A and B are shown apart, each in its own frame.
Chain A
Amino acid sequence: MTNPERVYADPSINMETEAYWEATKQNKLLLKKCDDCGETHWYPRAICPHCSSSNTCWYEGSGKGKIYSFSVMRRVEIPYVMAYVTLDEGVSLLTISWSAISTTCPSIKMLKLSSVPHKAIRPCPCFALLHKGPL
């Protein structure tokens, strides 16, 4: 499946998420972790949802993970594959994959930030197959 000219909505960047969106311009996926409890959380917040500490910090994620689940939205002009990807860091994020369509849910290693959609106001992390695992 190619990456069609889909329009991505404005993510409405705010002071909590500015660094994340700056990093996507360099094709980097930033995650947030808590310096006090050590846990990574998703989506990134100023306050740790695990221990309520405000000592949260950014770090660059591996960008690798597995598909947790996906669904091909067909009743639209440009069908797209909505997916939850569980990153190697242990958190799952909502994204779009352009290559999940013929696979089952798990055991697919994904590349990070495979595409920077042309019609996104800011680059949004999207994922594609790194290699096909056993189906």
Chain B
Amino acid sequence: MSRSCKAYIAGVFEHPTRKAVDKTIAQLHAEVAIGALKDAGLTKDDVDGYFCDGATPGLGGMSMAEYMGLDITYTDSTETGGSSYLVHVGHAMTAIAAGKCKVALITLAGRPRSEGVKSLAAKDYGDDLPERGFEIPYAPVITNMYGMAAKRHMHEFGTTSEQLAWIKVAASHHAQYNENAVLRDVVTVDDVVNSPMISDPLHRLDCCVISDGGGALVVVSPEIAKTLGDRCVKLLGQGEGIKHLNSGRIDLTYTGAVKSGPVAFAEAGLTPADMDYVSIYDSFTITVLETLEDLGFCAKGEGGKFVADGNLISGTGKLPFNTDGGGLCNNHPGNRGGMTKVIEAVRQLRGEAHAKVQVPDCTLALAHGTGGSIAQRTGAATVIMGRNDA
């Protein structure tokens, strides 16, 4: 069953807060839900499907459905870290195509900054974690694990810190126009490679920001989309997958995007060359570089050359990416960046991105999410979408 063109994104909302000291996580969920429903021209009473990640307060979606006063007949709380929301979009596409729901609400909220999280420390998943004894004693944290992926990529393909830095440079060029972005200063390659080393070869400016906030999406059936007008964005294809350490036969030079990308492109009947804009999960610069290769925007190992010299800067480069500033500069709500990737792609397709970064005549766009750790076990999800008239 192809789900292409059988569901639309009708509403999106990115919470403007970056430090929510005076709000609860439940409150943030409700605020982004209200924002996205208002953006769609719907109310909470129209919602019959609710989707959230495993970090949402309560058991699955039950507590938040109650808190927000939703009347739900379909729910999904699939957890794949920061890629969860792109998985949820796909599952909403499936559910809507199968007639299981008509208006699916997807929410994300988190406040790691207010809670004092100083680094992207690995979450403790408890004593039953099967790999626990073979990893946790050594203190793997997100930064040194991604550092090892970057180091191996450099070793195999000659990728340089300067090439990785171009990803941050491009993000910063976009973030200067985003008044909500955590980091708005334009930076240079030198700024990145001269910033303090966190975990080799990743410098401070190779890492994303830590921020509070959240976001929400409203996915609707074609019948409902028709009543809501041209701002609805057509869902053309989606893919997802899990990549892990493969029983010890490891390869840190690629991500789960090798699984999710081809499925999404096949469902959409499109290729990377068709994309006018991409949102690529950017927990670190290396995440973007490996993902672009894995999705087929360049050959494996050629990512360094591909991202260099401003190729990702809107208006300058061939592949404008993360025009909100991405996780590297704008926002990484709850340490989970997949939601905002979808939101900026929708803004681009609606022609509602900031004028300085809007891609002219943006018709087709891709959003990709990465969850967990690309140097351990990682989730991946790719969503391909088109303008309403695409």
Contact = CB atoms under 8 A, between A and B. Distances in A.
Contacts of B198: 73-75
Contacts of A43: 130-131, 133-134, 248
A40 B248 contact: yes
A42 to B, nearest CB: 3
Contacts of A10: 137
17 contacts: A11-B132, A12-B127, A17-B133, A43-B133, A44-B134, A49-B247, A68-B250, A73-B141, A73-B198, A74-B197, A75-B198, A82-B140, A91-B249, A94-B135, A104-B155, A105-B151, A124-B138
Nearest to B124: A9
Contacts of B362: none
Interface in B190-210: 196-202
A95 B133 CA distance: 11
Most B Cβ at <10 Å: residue of A42, A69, A70, A91: A69
B228 interface: no
A50 B246 CA distance: 9
A107 to B, nearest CB: 10
The list of the 4 closest CB pairs from A to B, nearest first, reads A91-B248, A42-B248, A71-B147, A11-B133
A9 B136 contact: yes
Chain A interface, >50% SS class: loop
Contacts of B17: none
Contacts of A90: 248-249
A11 B138 CA distance: 9
Interface string A91-106: 1111110000000111
A71 to B, nearest CB: 3
Contacts of B248: 40-43, 90-93
A120 interface: yes
A43 B129 CA distance: 12
Interface of A: 6, 8-14, 16-17, 20-21, 39-45, 49-50, 68-75, 80, 82-84, 86, 90-96, 104-106, 120, 122, 124
Contact of B199 (A6, A21, A73, A120): A73
Interface of B: 119, 127, 129-141, 143-145, 147-152, 155, 196-202, 245, 247-250, 252, 375-376
A94 B199 contact: no
Contacts of A95: 138
Given A71-B148, A75-B143, A96-B138, 12 more contacts: A12-B133, A42-B134, A71-B200, A75-B119, A75-B199, A80-B139, A82-B199, A84-B252, A90-B248, A91-B247, A93-B248, A104-B155
B133 A13 contact: yes
Given A43-B130, A75-B198, A70 B249 contact: no
Contact of A11 (B137, B149, B252): B137
Nearest to B132: A12
A126 to B, nearest CB: 8
A42 B134 CA distance: 9
Contacts of B119: 75
B322 to A, nearest CB: 24
Given A69-B148, A82-B148, A50 B247 contact: yes
A70 B201 CA distance: 9
Most B Cβ at <10 Å: residue of A12, A13, A17, A122: A12
Contacts of B129: 12
Nearest to A94: B135
A104 B156 CA distance: 11
B80 to A, nearest CB: 20
Most B Cβ at <10 Å: residue of A9, A13, A90, A106: A9
Contact of B149 (A69, A74, A86, A91): A69
B138 A84 contact: no
Contacts of A44: 134
Contacts of A45: 130
A70 B151 contact: yes
Contact of B155 (A41, A106, A120): A106
B29 to A, nearest CB: 32
Contacts of B247: 39, 41-42, 49-50, 91
A39 B247 CA distance: 10
Contacts of B137: 8-11, 120, 122, 124
A16 B127 CA distance: 13
A120 B139 CA distance: 12
